[in-house]
Structures are given as structure tokens and as C-alpha cells.
Amino acid sequence: MPAIVLIGAQWGDEGKGKATDLLGPRVDYVVKFNGGNNAGHTVVVGDEKYALHLLPSGILTPGVTPIIANGVVVDIEVLFDELTALSSRGVDVSKLRISANAHVITQYHRTLDKVTERFLGKRQIGTTGRGIGPAYADKINRVGIRMQDLFDENILRQKVEGALDQKNHLLLKIYNRRAIGVDEIVDDLLSYADRLRPMVTDTALLLHQALDAGDTVLFEGGQATMLDVDHGTYPFVTSSNATSGGAVTGSGIAPNRIDRVIAVVKAYTTRVGAGPFPTELFDESGEFLRAKGFEFGTTTGRPRRCGWYDAPIARFTARINGVTDFVLTKLDVLTGLETIPVCVAYDVDGERFDELPVNQSDFHHATPIYEEFPGWSEDITGARTFDDLPKAAQDYVLAIEAMSGARISAIGVGPGRDAIVVRHDLLD
Ligand code: GDP
Ligand code: IMO
Ligand code: MG
């Protein structure tokens, strides 16, 4: 089972970091293929807690080669900060390789992210402010800076000049900000070149060779299906393809090499930032999920919006990504609820939708049609087999599995590395 894609099923923060960490000892490479330091993955190893943003979570497993592939946008300052922080805690980061084709996030991308959000006012997306959207916009506009440009000062200068030409007009005349100097950007980027040189390579070739040699490669998605720029709740999305297709374009590995697609799905739903969210709760149930699940952003610290499980979203995710297995996380958070509602379909102005409405306005108006399941009160954090779970928890899992379009192969029952019930081997 050499090439495995692992992605988020909802609006992010499903526990992808923990799931990656779980598979870590059995994989040789972990590849980040989309997004940048907008991601926030919390991994708990014993008493140690790690918060990763730009680096793939697999970096925590000794022996794994972490890859930042071409689909990622890299803030180099953040990269070195994270590497230094991990090294000082004894994590070996020497194997990291970065694609020569990955794009770079610069100061002007971060500035533009913040000023455009402010300009949008009530229509703002609620981005993480890390410069992600503007960096991808430059990539698509063909004025981006790539990692390889840092090794050719002439080319770098020309490209930064080209990128800043229009942006400085915008910053000065529209946004009332100071213009950004070409030299300050070029000097800043060049200051990292020597440290980057040994890490930057043709990662697509490296991954092909690894797969040919029979190594196991895990592609770790950032963000999630509903935040995908093509398939998510546009425009309230991130600017990359967070779905399994993104693993292909974002790494240079062909689709027919992918053997398995694992989607990580929470036993309820959360979202950070603006945009439609049919099962969102505004009452004490939402507070319960937020407090018990500790639903505060790993990247920005913002309280996450919380709601019940949405089965049409899980089915959508299963279709769009070709999901073979779900990892259901945070089942333990639901302990103590008398009944647990699950959204089985939507009502849009009196019409029933069993699947996600294609029209975004309909999705904004969608009210969930719920089916209620009995809750349980037993502590499940010590469960390690499906039979260890109380009957009501088993029934909840089986019910949502039947609605979600793929089997639930593992169930998270706590934040720790070992707090998991495995029903089917994820790599077999
Ligand atoms: P990611 O962005 O998908 O990697 O997820 P985050 O790390 O942002 O958010 C998931 C949070 O849930 C982290 O704090 C994890 O430690 C925690 N977590 C993961 N799985 C479980 C679980 O099964 N139960 C509980 N209680 N917490 C979990
Ligand atoms: P992980 O990998 C949750 C959200 C932001 C905002 C929108 C666009 O931890 O699951 P961006 O800065 O990407 O342009 O913001 O996407 N967002 C996330 N929400 N988890 C994430 O990553 C996210 N990355 C971006 O809140 O609504
Ligand atoms: Mg997260």
C-alpha cells in the first residue's frame, strides 16, 4: 500500500495531525501538498504537545522523511522558526526536503492578506492573515516567487520587481499603505538562500523514486474538503485544493499511483472563519462542544464555531475525494449528551435536499433535518476495541457510517497518540 492520501472531511481541524502521527511509524515519507502556515495541527505525544503549522505532522516520527511539495506556499521565516523550535525539543529535522517549485510567501503577501480582509468589511472571509490567498493569487497570475528563484539573484530581483509593480500602486493608492521596496524583499529572501540550498530539490522525482523502491508515502492534506477552492463553500474557502486531487497536482505524483484515501472526520462539526455552516449551534450545546472539545484555533486562537455531525457533507467528501476509509475523531467529546442529533438532509425553503445543494445561496439557507440518537455517559477514553465502547456509542458510529459513504476504520477517543480504536488496518 505505497501511496496514501489523508485529508480533512469537513472545514478543518478534524485531527489530521493526530491521524498522521498514528500512521507515522509505518510510513517512509510524509508529504505536505497544499496550503502553508494557515494549517494548525496539534499532536500530543505522551506529556508533550506539538503545534505544527507549515511542517507536515509526520516530521515528529523518527526516520520519516518530511517533504514540502510544489503545491505548498512557504513562509521562509516561519519555516526556520518551526525547524528551530522542533530541533530544540530534540526532533530530528535534517531530512526535510522542499520542492524547488513551491511558491514563497513574502511580506507583501501577508500585508495584502490583512488589508484586503479589512477592505472587505462585513464580507470578509476571516482568513488566518498568513498571506496564503495573495501568494496563491500570484502563482495563478504568474508573478509568484518560487524556491528556486532564491538561488539566482538576478532572476529573483526581476521577479520581485514584477510582483511589486502593481501591488505598490494598490497599496499606495487604494489601501493607503506605504509602498514596499524591492531591495528589502530581495535582501530578506537572499538571507535564507544558503540555509535553504541543501533542502531544496526536485521532490516529485524523489517521490517517484521512493514509490518505485516500494517505500510508503503519506500525503497529508492541510485544511479540508469544504475549504477547497473548487469544491468547498466558495468564496469562504482557502486558496488551494485541499481535496485528494490536490495531492496529485500538489506533489507531481500521478493519480493512478494513489492506493488509498483516508478522510479524517470529527464526530461533530467545527468551522473557523466566515461562511455557511448549516448545523452550527448557537445555544449551550455549541458551548458544550467548544468547551469539551477545546475548540479554539491552533493557528489564530479563535473560538471555533461548533455544530452537529453533517452526513451529507461526509457523503460529499467521500465522493469528491474517493474516500476508502474514514477516521472518526473526538467521539469522546460527545460523552454525557442525552441525545445526539445528526443532520441527514437539508430543508431549503420547504424543499428537501438529501445531498449538498449546488447553489451556494441554497446552502446558506439550508436548515438541517435531524435524526436523534441516544447518547452515553460512560467514559470511553480508555476504549481500544470497538467492543470496549458502550452500545449507544457503537450504534452512533454504525449509524453515521451507514450515512457517510465509506467505512469508519478508526475512532479517536482522546487526544493522546494511543487513544484510538482501530476497526480496520488503515494501511492494509
Ligand atoms: P488538524 O488541523 O486536522 O490537524 O486538527 P487540529 O490539531 O487543529 O485539531 C484537532 C484537536 O483535537 C487537537 O487538539 C487534537 O489533539 C485533538 N484530538 C484529535 N483527536 C482527538 C480525539 O479523538 N479526541 C479528543 N478529545 N481530541 C482529539
Ligand atoms: P487545518 O489544516 C480550519 C480557514 C480560515 C478562513 C479560510 C481562509 O488546521 O485544518 P486562509 O488563511 O487559508 O486564506 O483562510 O480558511 N482555514 C482553516 N480553518 N483549519 C485550517 O487548517 C484552516 N486553514 C484555513 O479560518 O476561514
Ligand atoms: Mg488545525
CATH number of the domain that residue 413 is part of: 3.90.170.10
Give catalytic status of residue 41 as yes or no. yes
- The span from the CA of 167 to the CA of 172, in Å, is 8
Kindly write down the DSSP assignment for every residue of 150-172, as one continuous string. GG-HHHHHHHHHHHHHHHHHIII
Closest ligand 1 atom number to CA of residue 294: 14
In a domain, 53, yes or no: yes
This model's pTM is above 0.85 = yes
Instruction: Check the CA dihedral 167-169-174-180 and report its sign.
Output: positive
Give catalytic status of residue 13 as yes or no. yes
> Tens-digit pLDDT profile for the chain (428 aa)?
699 999 999 999 999 999 998 899 999 999 999 999 999 999 988 889 999 999 999 999 999 999 999 999 999 999 999 999 999 999 999 999 999 999 999 999 999 999 999 999 889 999 999 999 999 999 999 999 999 999 999 999 999 999 999 999 999 999 999 999 999 999 999 999 999 999 999 999 999 999 999 999 999 999 999 999 999 999 999 999 999 999 999 999 999 999 999 999 999 999 999 999 999 999 999 999 999 999 998 888 889 999 999 999 999 999 999 999 999 999 999 999 999 999 999 999 999 999 999 999 999 999 999 999 999 999 999 999 999 999 999 999 999 999 999 999 999 999 998 999 999 999 88
Verify cis geometry, omega within 30 degrees of 0, for the bond prior to 235. yes
93 and 8 share one domain: yes
271 and 391 share one domain: yes
333 and 216 share one domain: no
378 and 413 share one domain: yes
In a domain, 427, yes or no: no
The reply to whether ligand 1 has any atom less than 6 angstroms from the CB of 13 is yes
61 and 203 share one domain: yes
48 and 145 share one domain: no
| Domain end call among 151, 167, 194 | 194
Q: Which of 238, 239, 265, 327 to mutate to test the pocket of ligand 2 (most atoms within 8 A of CB)?
A: 238
Number of domains in the chain: 3
The reply to whether ligand 2 has any atom less than 6 angstroms from the CB of 368 is no
Residue 186 sits in a domain whose CATH number is 1.10.300.10
160 and 25 share one domain: no
The two counts, helices (H) then strands (E), for the chain are 13, 20
- The span from the CA of 175 to the CA of 290, in Å, is 36
Residue 21 sits in a domain whose CATH number is 3.40.440.10
Q: Which of 21, 41, 310, 332 is catalytic?
A: 41
Q: How far is CA 19 from CA 7, 25, 209, 257, in A?
A: 10, 12, 25, 21
Q: For 77-232, list the strands marked E by DSSP.
A: 97-99, 103-105, 200-201, 217-220
- The span from the CA of 59 to the CA of 272, in Å, is 25
85 and 215 share one domain: yes
In a domain, 22, yes or no: yes
Q: Atom 3, ligand 2: which residue's CA is nearest?
A: 12
How far apart are the CA of 255 and the centre of ligand 1, in A?
29
| Domain end call among 166, 194, 222 | 194
272 and 414 share one domain: yes
How far apart are the CA of 408 and the centre of ligand 1, in A?
17
The reply to whether ligand 2 has any atom less than 6 angstroms from the CB of 222 is yes
Instruction: Compute CA 416 distance to the chain's CA centroid, rounded to the nearest angstrom.
Output: 19
| Domain end call among 147, 170, 194 | 194
- The span from the CA of 226 to the CA of 344, in Å, is 17
Q: Atom 9, ligand 1: which residue's CA is nearest?
A: 13
In a domain, 236, yes or no: yes
Q: Residue 243 has what pLDDT? A: 98
279 and 386 share one domain: yes
In a domain, 394, yes or no: yes
Q: Is the CB of residue 418 less than 8 Å from the CB of residue 381?
A: no
242 and 296 share one domain: no
79 and 176 share one domain: no
**Ligand that comes closest to the CA of residue 302:** 2
Q: What domain range is 403 assigned to?
A: 265-422
In a domain, 428, yes or no: no
Give residue 239's identity as a one-letter amino acid code: S
